[in-house]
Amino acid sequence: MSKVFLISPVFSSDINVERERSKNLREWFISEKTTKEIEELGFSRDDVESHFVGREYRSESAGIETVYVGKVEKGTVIRDKISGIINKENIYGNYFICFDGDGQIPFDSFFGIIKQLLREDIDIILACRASKYGISDIRANIEKFELFLLSSKYGVYLPDGQCGCWGFKTDILEKIPLIAKSFEVELDLLSACLRNRIFLHYMYTAIEGDDQESEFNPKDHEKKLSFLIERLEWSREFVFKRYDEYAKEHGELPEGYVELLRTIDWPDVPVEKENQFNHFIPTYKLLPGCLKRCDIIECVCSSTPALGKK
């Protein structure tokens, strides 16, 4: 029988908040309603292995138990869990799902992700926010710029991918060796899939509650940017050309972030490599209700309800 690996970070600077979030997730997970939904999808509760990740999280990988002390890095715990799957499980025929456990992503998104992954033609599904991002306007704009850079590199439109809700079939793990340690893990996942021509699918998710910054801080912007420019293999001058394009359409980014663009360590990149955009052959399907063509990305939004909604 296939297994489902569910990981849900509950990060907070307040350990009591982490405990409350873990408690809410566990109550949802053990409820009769959740059990019924899992069974309707063809699984039993025993088929789902859940991990709610905070500072008191314990992980076992390759027979070694890891106890995280202090702040836990999101990318690290995800990669630890994936390593455990590769080392101890049959990676074929199983499912890996991640959603942030701070309450903004509806817990029932889990069922929508599983339902789509059960389709033969879907290897990975990512949640897509519409107008409400659940974070500050500044951080949302920076995330859009990061996706704009990846979109430019691979010639595709990326509507989202960083909202903290996604899942994939473990069959693709050998093709997407993740290396990210922190919040850049979702950029790592996106770039790995694009680089290896893995077809992306999106579903709309409703963000609940007020906008919040969570545990994200300016240092995390620097980590994400450093990771991204390594993946892009572009020079400072080349990226600033892309930034000028972005700013004309979407407006300027905060001066602090632009200064980071200027001063961060940039790799030496040969011009011939810099001009390799690695465009996909456009094979797109414009579904009813779509507002913009997605060259290699199929959106299942128009035929299904929002994640977490009936």
Chain segment 5-24, per-residue pLDDT in tens: 999 988 877 878 888 888 89
Q: Which domain holds residue 183?
A: 4-303
Q: Is residue 239 in a domain?
A: yes
Q: Is pLDDT of 305 > 70?
A: no
By mean pLDDT, which of 55-69, 130-144, 214-228 is the weakest? 55-69
Q: What percent of the chain has pLDDT over 90?
A: 29
Is 274 in a helix, a strand, or coil? helix
Chain segment 220-278, per-residue pLDDT in tens: 888 898 998 888 888 888 888 889 999 998 899 999 899 989 988 887 776 555 555 44
Q: Is residue 230 in a domain?
A: yes
Q: Is residue 308 in a domain?
A: no
Chain segment 62-86, per-residue pLDDT in tens: 444 455 555 668 888 888 888 888 8
pLDDT of residue 117: 95
Q: Is residue 136 in a domain?
A: yes
Confidence of residue 98 (pLDDT cuts 50, 70, 90): very high
User: How far is the C-alpha of 51 from the C-alpha of 107, rounded, in Å?
Assistant: 13
Q: Is residue 309 in a domain?
A: no
Q: Is residue 236 in a domain?
A: yes
pLDDT of residue 131: 65
pLDDT of residue 60: 53
User: How far is the C-alpha of 18 from the C-alpha of 54, rounded, in Å?
Assistant: 6
Q: Is residue 59 in a domain?
A: yes
The domain tally of the chain equals: 1
pLDDT of residue 99: 92
Q: Is residue 310 in a domain?
A: no
**Residue 156, domain CATH:** 3.90.550
pLDDT of residue 159: 83
DSSP states along 45-94: GGGEEEEEESTT-EEEETTEEEE--SSPPHHHHHHHHHHHHHHHS--TT-
